[in-house]
Amino acid sequence: MALTEHELPESAPADIDLRDQQPDAAQRNILDPGFNLTLRPMRYPVFYEMYRNAIKNTWTVDEIDFSDDLVDLQRKLLPAEKHLISRLVAFFATGDSIVSNNLVLNLYKHVNSPEARMYLSRQLYEEALHVQFYLTLLDNYIPDLAEREAAFAAIENIPSIRAKGEFCFKWIDSINHLQSLETKQDRKQFLLNLICFATCIEGLFFFAAFAYVYFLRSKGLLNGLAAGTNWVFRDESAHMNFALEVVNTVRAEEPELFDEDLGNQISTMIREAVDCEYQFAEDVLSEGVAGMSLNDTREYLQFVADQRLAQLGLPTEFGSSNPFGFMELQDVQELTNFFERTVAAYQVGVEGDVAFDEDF
């Protein structure tokens, strides 16, 4: 939603003219067909600020040192933990590519805000960076070429990962044929795509994967993987916040779209995502990982899902709490809470671990 002059913080950047904050009522809504190219006057400055914050959060894969991880893989990880990692990196191999394709094919062309498209352009770069990170991860972790090839084909040959792919395509491919959002039904389908993208794929599937990574880090294992995940965590939190801000903007401009039918479809989608991710957890933990039970993992997934529903203004489904103490506050960096919508601190070249608020 556009800010008014009175709502601007006193520290508003010098390159944002306060006169830009008053939206022109004659301009189109954010999902109206077309490509508004005019940045002045700026109708949605919140997206421009998100773009600026993302630039400050720049990192590179070259900063990550995997040398200690190789020692851990060879000498320290138990067989069950090695199985967990093999499944996790196999998911990583294709997960962000699905996200990138959806950005290009379905999201960019329908968000009619030049400020928001600036952010989406930056997000596409970040998704490519994540793909590079996971490529480098697999190249380091899996020296055997045949095994590495199988990991990259996981979406075809590992049932638990294939199920996640099928879930993604079920909910996000429904607008592939739409060249513009002409009807209310078109716009609801777009919202389902965006909400699946933000709350289920980035906001549940990837956040569950992060939990596995930080569980291993809590045992002193795979610090290189954890270091790279810190950066991906920051990016994914911001991506989700952006998508939710688009949803809130549409809600303010076209509240009639957010009817009972849409709410029911979102709740169904998130329940399906929990079931799908739990199937993956059954695979990941199938050999018995000490300290991480299936019951706790299910509770954690339901806890995350409830947070996502609350962010969307929908009733929670599960009433679950977070069973993973290792996801609580661990370091001194002031960062975004996974479940909060405000980016607290960004900085180029931040060093150190991720900090989590206690309600994680």
Within-domain flag for 41: no
Tally of domains within the chain? 1
Q: Which range has the worst mean pLDDT, 16-30, 86-100, 104-118?
A: 16-30
User: Does pLDDT of 286 surpass 70?
Assistant: yes
Least confident stretch, 51-60, 100-109, 164-173, 323-332: 323-332
State the pLDDT at residue 173: 84
Q: What is the pLDDT of residue 17?
A: 47
Out of 45-59, 176-190, 270-284, 323-337, pick the least confident.
323-337
- Exposed/middle/buried for residue 182 (C-beta within 10 Å: 0-12, 13-18, 19+): exposed
Torsion of CA 284, 286, 288, 293, to 10 degrees: 70
Query: What is d(CA 50, CA 144) in angstroms, rounded to the nearest whole number?
Result: 41
Residue 195 domain-assigned (yes or no): yes
65 occurs within a structural domain: yes
Q: What is the dihedral of CA 111, 251, 185, 37, to 10 degrees?
A: -20
| pLDDT above 50: residue 98 | yes
Q: What confidence score (pLDDT) does residue 238 get?
A: 95
Q: Residue 291's pLDDT is what?
A: 93
Task: Using a pLDDT cut of 70, give the percent of the chain over it.
Answer: 83
Question: Is residue 308 included in any domain, yes or no?
Answer: yes
Q: Is the pLDDT of residue 348 over 80?
A: no
Domain hosting 64: range is 46-327
Told to judge if 134 belongs to the known catalytic residues of this protein, a careful annotator would answer yes
Overall pTM surpassing 0.75 (yes/no): yes
The active-site residue, picked from 44, 48, 51, 134, is 134
Identify the pLDDT of residue 1: 35
Instruction: State what percent of residues in the chain have pLDDT above 90.
Output: 67
Q: How many CB atoms lie within 10 A of CB 276?
A: 22
Answer yes or no: is pLDDT of 86 > 50.
Answer: yes
pLDDT value of position 325 = 84
- Domain membership of residue 343 (yes or no) is no
* Domain CATH code at residue 163: 1.10.620.20
Q: Which of 25-29, 187-191, 331-335 has the lowest mean pLDDT?
A: 331-335
Question: Is residue 323 a part of any domain in this protein?
Answer: yes
Q: Residue 32: inside a domain, yes or no? A: no
Instruction: Give the confidence band of 349 by pLDDT, cuts at 50, 70, 90.
Output: very low
Asked if residue 334 belongs to a domain, the reply is: no
